[in-house]
Amino acid sequence: MKLVHVETGQHLYGGAQQVAYLLEGLTARGIDNLLVCPPGAAIGAHFAGSAVKVVELRCGGDADLGFVPRLARVLREQQPDLVHLHSRRGADVLGGVAAKIAGIPALLSRRVDNAENPWWARRKYRLYARIICISEGIAAVLRGEGVDAGRIRVVRSAVQAAPWRRPESREAFCAEFNVDRDALIIGVVAQLIERKGHRVLFEALRGLQTTHKLALVIFGQGALRAALESEAASLPLPVRFAGFRADLPRWLGCLDLLVHPALMEGLGVSLLQASAASVAIIASRAGGMPEAIRDGLNGLLVAPGDSAALGLAIGRLASDAGLRHELGAAGARLIDAEFSTAAMIEGNLAVYRELTP
C-alpha cells in the first residue's frame, strides 16, 4: 500500500503530532508513506532522513488556489493508492479537489466539532471516499448536517503514554515556573484563543471560595496572550504564562489538577496527555470531551461556559486530595485501554483497507 499524507500545520503538536504517530506506526507496518507539508514545517523536519519521504509544497491557506495544481502534480507523479488529508487549513477542500483531478481516492481527518452550513457540508464531503472523525461527537455533527453516514468513520486520537509518566519533581516544577511549593497547582494546556475558554476559568477563579493556596500555570501560545495576561493580573492567585513547551511531558504530571474549559473541542489531546500522566481533570461537556473525560471516573465535567459550575468543581477537587488521586489513576488506566497509538494506527489502517484491493 502506498499513501500520500497532507499536513499543512507548521508546528508539531495537536493534529500534526497525531499524523507523526500515524506515519511512524504505518511505516513500522510496512506501508509506503509520502508526507506533503509546507516548507519549514516541524513535521517535515521530524521525518527528514527517515523512511517517510517528505515533499515540501507551499500552501497559503484556503485562498491559495495554486495549491490544487501543485498537489495534483505530486499525486500524478507518485500514483498512491490513497491520499489522506489531515489538515483543515488549505488542505481539506483544495486537497480534495486536487485528489479528484489526479484520480486518487481521498480521505479527510476531521478534528474539530464546529458546525458548517449543511448545504455546504453535504457538497464538500462528497470529495472524500471516507471522513475519519476523531470522536463520536464530531461524527454526530457531520451526520446532523446531512453528510452521508456511510462515509463517516470514527478513529479516536491517541497518546504515547510512556513519556507522560516520567515527570520532574515537584520542586523542579516550582522552581521552573516560579510557583510556591505549598500551592495547589492548576494547569491549562491549550492555544490562547477564544474557544478554549480561558476567560470562563478566570471568572470561575474570581468567584471561588477556598482556603487553599492556589497557583495557575497556563501552557500554550496564541493571539489572546497579551489580553489574557492583562486580565489575569486581577485574579486572586498567581498566574504564570509558560508559553508553548516542547518539553511538556516533563512537567504535566506535576500538576495537581488540569482544567480544560473549552467551549468546543473535537476531542482534546491535552486531556489524553493529562490522563496518561495520572492528573485529575475538569473539562467541559462539549464536543468529544465526554469521550476523553468520563464524569466521575477520570475527571469532572461541567456545562461549557458555566463559570459557577466550574468554580464548584475546582473547589471540590481542591479540597479532596483522595478524589484527585482516584481520578488520576483511573485516567491512566483509561488511556491504556482505549487511547493507545496502536489502536489509532490500526483504526486508520482498517479504513484504508476498505478502499484498497
Do the first three CATH levels of 2-158+340-355 and 162-338 match, i.e. the same topology?
yes
**CA of residue 356 relative to chain centroid, distance:** 28
pLDDT computed for residue 177 by the predictor: 98
Output the CA–CA distances (angstroms, integers) from residue 245 to 191, 242, 292, in the order listed. Answer: 12, 7, 22
Query: What are the pLDDT digits (tens) for 122-159?
Result: 999 999 999 999 999 999 999 999 999 999 999 999 99
Query: What are the pLDDT digits (tens) for 168-183?
Result: 999 999 999 999 999 9
pLDDT computed for residue 89 by the predictor: 81
pLDDT at 112 over 90: no
CB-side exposure of 71: number of CA atoms within 13 Å? 36
For the segment(s) 162-338, the CATH number from 3.40.50.1370, 3.90.700.10, 3.40.50.2000, 3.30.70.1400 is 3.40.50.2000
If one counts every other C-beta atom within 10 angstroms of the C-beta of residue 168, the result is: 17
pLDDT at 52 over 90: yes
pLDDT computed for residue 210 by the predictor: 78
Which pLDDT band holds residue 91 (cuts at 50, 70, 90)?
confident
For residues 282 and 258, is the Cβ–Cβ distance under 8 A? yes
pLDDT computed for residue 114 by the predictor: 86
pLDDT at 260 over 90: yes
Which pLDDT band holds residue 87 (cuts at 50, 70, 90)?
confident
pLDDT computed for residue 61 by the predictor: 86
User: What are residue 166's phi and psi, to 5 degrees?
Assistant: -130, 60
pLDDT computed for residue 26 by the predictor: 97
Least Cα distance to 287 among 141, 118, 87, 116 occurs for 141
pLDDT computed for residue 357 by the predictor: 77
Average pLDDT in the chain: 95
Which tops the pLDDT comparison, 90 or 45? 45
pLDDT at 90 over 80: no
The arrangement of secondary structure in 2-158+340-355, i.e. its CATH architecture, is 3-Layer(aba) Sandwich (3.40)
For the chain, percent of residues with pLDDT exceeding 90: 89
Domain ranges of the chain: 2-158+340-355, 162-338
- pTM of the prediction? 0.84
Beta bridge partners of 37: 56
Long-range contacts formed by 54-62: CB under 8 A, 24+ apart: 59/8, 59/89, 59/90, 59/91, 59/94, 60/90, 61/89, 61/90, 62/89, 62/90, 62/93, 62/94
Least Cα distance to 355 among 84, 71, 35, 121 occurs for 84
